Structure 1
Amino acid sequence: MMALYINWDFDSEIINIYGFPLKYYGLLFACGLLLCMYILKRIYRRENLKDSAHEALFIYGIVGIFVGARLGHCFFYDFDYYSKNLLEIILPIKKTLNGEYKFIGYAGLASHGGTIGLITSLYLYSKKYEIKYLKILDLIAIVAPLGATFIRLANLMNSEMIGNPTTMPWAFIFSRIDNIPRHPAQLYEAISYLIIFIIVFTIYKTKNIKLGNGFMFGLAISLIFTMRILIEFVKINQVEFENGMKLNMGQILSIPFIIIGIYFMGKNLTRKETK
C-alpha cells in the first residue's frame, strides 16, 4: 500500500548565494504575478484602458498583496509573538536564541490579509487613474484565482499547509515533516482555484450575460473562499490556538468574504448595472 503514496521530498531552496536563498515559494509567487499581469494587459487593451494604468497596477498590486499578507499573518495568526518582535514584521529576519538576527525571508504570509491589502490598494489605484472601483475589482477578480493557484503550488513546494492523515491512494508523504500519508491539501486548493479561474475567465470572454460592475468580483471571492472553508476540514491547523475550535482561523476569516461576494452577485441579479 505504501508504494501507492507519493513521497514528497523537495528542498524548498533552489540555490543559496552567500546566505541568501532563492526558494521555490518566491519563484512561483513571481511567476504567478507576472502571468496575471500579462493576462491583465490583454484585458486592459480589450477594455480600452491605458497602458500606463496597467504598468502602475503592478506596483499597487504587489505592495497591497505583500503588505496585507504579511500583516494578516502577524495579526491574525501570531499576534502574541510579533507584538513583542515588531521589527520582524517589516524585515525578513528572525531573532535566534543567542539574541542575534538571522535572514530567513518573509516566512509568514496570509491569503486573507493579502486579499484585504489588494482591495485597499486598488481603491487608491482607482482614484489615481480614474477607473471605476468596482470595474477594476472585476478585472482583478478574473486573474486572482490564477495567482492563488501559484501560491498554493508554492506552499506545496515548501511542504507547508499540509493535510490531515489519510489512506487515500493519492496521499502525499511529506518526508521533510514526517512519514505519515496525508491529504495534499495545497494541491486540492491549487486545482480548485485553477477551475475557478477558468470559470470566471470564460464568463468574461463570452459575455453572453450582461453583468453589472461587481459581479465578477463577487463570483470570484465567494467561490475562492467557499473552497477555502471546505478544504480546511482536511488540513492540519496552522497555529496551536486553533486546536479545539469548530472552525479554524482560516475558515472564520473566509466567511465575511463569502457574504460580500454573495451580496455583489445578488445586487447584479436585481439590477443590470450598479450605480
Structure 2
Amino acid sequence: MLNYITWTVDPAIFTIFSREIRWYGLFFALGFLIGYQIEEKIFRHDNAPQKWVDKIFIYTIIATVVGARLGHCLFYDWSYYSQHPLDIFKIWEGGLASHGGAIAIIIAILIYSYKVTHRNPLWAFDRLVIPVALVGAMIRMGNLMNHEIYGHPTTLPWGFRFIENLSLWKYKGMEPVFSLPSHPTQIYEALCYLTVFLILMYMYWKKDAGRYQGLIFGVFLVGIFLSRFFIEFLKNPQEEFEVGMVLNMGQWLSIPFVLGGIYLIYRAIKKGKIEGVVNAGSMRQQAKKK
C-alpha cells in the first residue's frame, strides 16, 4: 500500500481587513529578524560599528525583494512582463526568483562596501551569507505552506499530496484537487540550506574562517547553488518553456554561482589566513570619519 502525506495546510494564517497574513510572509520576516540578530552578534565579535549592521540590513532587504522580483520577471516570464511592465510592481501576486535576489544582493554589497565600510567586499560577503543561508531555508518552508515548487511523483513514504487547485479551493469553495504523492522539494532545499548555515556558523565561530577572505562566501555559493542544481532534477517545471529542457533555468543560473564559489574557496586557501582582517582600532577610526 502506498504511503504518503496529504498536505492540507492553508497558506494564510488569518485575514485582517480583507488582507491575508500568510505563512510565507511570516517565515520571510522571521528569517530577516533572526538573521539580523545573528549578523549583529558577528559584527560585534569583529568590533564593527553598529551602524554597519543597520545599513547592511537595509541594503540586503531592498536588494532581496527588488532583485527576486525582477529575477522572476526577467528570467521566467519576460514575454508577459515585457508587454505588461506595470505588473512588475504587483509583487503581492507572487513571483520571486532566488537567483535574481542573489545577483541583487551581490550588487548591493559592492555598493555597501564602497560607501559604508571602505573594505574589500569579501569582508562583508563572508559575514552576510551566514544568516542568508538560514533565511533561504525559511523561505523554502514558506513555499511548502503555499503548496508550490514541489517535485515529480514519488513512491517514497514521505511523498506529499499538494492541493493543485489552491485558489479555487480557497476562494471558490471547490473541493481540493490533490497532486499525486510528490517529492517535497521545498523540504529538501530547506534542509540543505539549514545544513549550509550550520557549516558556516561552525567555520566562523570555531575555525576563525573569517580571516580567510572569501572562504565562507565561497562555501556558501557552492553549498547553496550546488544543492539547488541537483534538487532541480526532482522538481516540476516552473514555467512552460522549461518543459523538455535538459537543464532548466534554475540550473543554468546556478552554474555561474557554483563556479564562482569554487574559485573563491581556491583563492582563499591559496592566500591563507590574512592577519589584520578584523582590526577593532582601525574600524573605529574609520567609523569616526563617517
Assess same fold via TM > 0.5.
Answer: yes
Contact 2:12 2:23 (C-alpha < 8 Å) held by counterparts:
yes
CA RMSD, 1 decimal = 1.6
Corresponding residue for residue 138 of structure 2: 150
The within-5 A match list for 1:242-261 is 242-261=242-261
The within-5 A match list for 1:222-241 is 222-241=222-241
Contact 2:99 2:253 (C-alpha < 8 Å) held by counterparts:
yes
Any gaps of 5 or more consecutive residues in structure 2? 166-177, 278-290
Corresponding residue for residue 129 of structure 1: 116
Corresponding residue for residue 170 of structure 2: none
Contact 2:204 2:210 (C-alpha < 8 Å) held by counterparts:
no
Q: CA deviation at 1:176?
A: 4.2
Q: CA deviation at 1:210?
A: 7.8
Q: 1:217 to 1:209 in 2, by over 3 A?
A: closer
Contact 1:211 1:268 (C-alpha < 8 Å) held by counterparts:
no
Corresponding residue for residue 86 of structure 2: 87
Corresponding residue for residue 59 of structure 2: 60
Residue 15 of structure 2: SS of its match in structure 1?
A: strand
Contact 2:209 2:215 (C-alpha < 8 Å) held by counterparts:
no
AA aligned opposite 1:76: F
Residue 233 of structure 1: SS of its match in structure 2?
A: helix
Corresponding residue for residue 99 of structure 1: none
Q: CA deviation at 1:142?
A: 1.5
Matched, 1:216 2:216: yes
String of CA shifts for 1:112-155, please: whole Å, max 9, x gaps.
00001111111111122124311000001212211110010000
The within-5 A match list for 1:124-203 is 124-130=111-117, 131-177=119-165, 178-203=178-203
Identity across matched positions, percent: 42
CA distance in 2, matches of 1:270, 1:41: 30
CA distance in 1, matches of 2:210, 2:141: 34
CA distance in 1, matches of 2:155, 2:210: 46
Q: CA deviation at 1:58?
A: 1.7
Residue 14 of structure 2: SS of its match in structure 1?
A: strand
> After alignment, is 110-119 or 210-219 more displaced?
210-219
Contact 1:237 1:248 (C-alpha < 8 Å) held by counterparts:
yes
Residue 21 of structure 1: SS of its match in structure 2?
A: strand
Any gaps of 5 or more consecutive residues in structure 1? 93-104
Q: What TM-score do you get using the length of structure 1 for normalisation? A: 0.91
2:94 equivalent among 83, 107, 124:
107
String of CA shifts for 1:251-271, please: whole Å, max 9, x gaps.
000000001000111111211
CA distance in 2, matches of 1:50, 1:176: 49
Contact 1:163 1:236 (C-alpha < 8 Å) held by counterparts:
yes
String of CA shifts for 1:134-182, please: whole Å, max 9, x gaps.
1000001212211110010000000100110000001111134523100
Corresponding residue for residue 97 of structure 1: none
String of CA shifts for 1:184-234, please: whole Å, max 9, x gaps.
000000001101111111011112668521111011011100000110111
Residue 14 of structure 1: SS of its match in structure 2?
A: strand
Contact 2:127 2:210 (C-alpha < 8 Å) held by counterparts:
no
CA distance in 1, matches of 2:82, 2:11: 28
Q: 1:109 to 1:48 in 2, by over 3 A?
A: same
Contact 1:9 1:176 (C-alpha < 8 Å) held by counterparts:
no
Q: What TM-score do you get using the length of structure 2 for normalisation? A: 0.87
Residue 234 of structure 2: SS of its match in structure 1?
A: coil
Matched, 1:206 2:193: no
CA distance in 1, matches of 2:211, 2:236: 39
CA distance in 1, matches of 2:15, 2:210: 51
Matched, 1:51 2:56: no
